[in-house]
Amino acid sequence: MSKSDSTCTAGWFKSSRSSETQSCVEVRFNGNSVLIRDSKYTGPGPTQPIVSVSSTLWPGFLDQVLSANSGGLNEGVAISLHQDGGATISGQGVALIYNADEWDAFAKGVADGQFNRS
């Protein structure tokens, strides 16, 4: 997915459970899809690894996060939980890897309803 650097930050948000200095799962509602990226990425904006979930499957994705189990969606997007409490979100040839603190902050934000699409 190609984006200019100026649009790379517009509309992205993270869980309020993530500290200012903590790397995190970032989400952006984008028309009929929800985009997910990793704030640890430091390369050029146009090559930012992003996983896209259709807005119709987004509630199922959030349910999968809350289930605390690994699993996948029909679009080939999957969540793989790690033994150390971290997780990997994969899809479209991209793997976003989060440590335990990053995943915990995201999951708590999901539980709080912060990522519900309204």
Q: Is the pLDDT of residue 7 over 80?
A: no
pLDDT at site 9: 61
DSSP-derived letter for residue 45 is G
Number of folded domains in the chain? 1
Domain that holds residue 85: 5-111
Q: Is the pLDDT of residue 3 over 60?
A: no
- Beta strand 94-98 pairing with 87-91: antiparallel
Q: Residue 11 forms beta bridges with which residues? A: none
Q: What is the mean pLDDT of the chain?
A: 89
Q: How far apart are CA 77 and CA 104, in angstroms?
A: 19
What's the average model confidence in pLDDT over 94-105?
95
pLDDT at site 21: 61
- Asked whether residue 118 is domain-assigned, the answer is no
> In sequence order, what E strands does the chain have?
25-30, 33-38, 50-54, 71-72, 78-81, 87-91, 94-98
Residues above pLDDT 90, as percent of the chain: 76
Q: Name, in order, each residue with C-beta under 8 angstroms of 10's C-beta and a sequence gap of 6 or more.
A: none
Assign 16 a pLDDT band (cuts: 50, 70, 90). confident
Q: Residue 38 forms beta bridges with which residues? A: 25
pLDDT at site 6: 31
User: Are residues 3 and 45 in contact, defined by beta-carbon separation less than 8 angstroms?
Assistant: yes
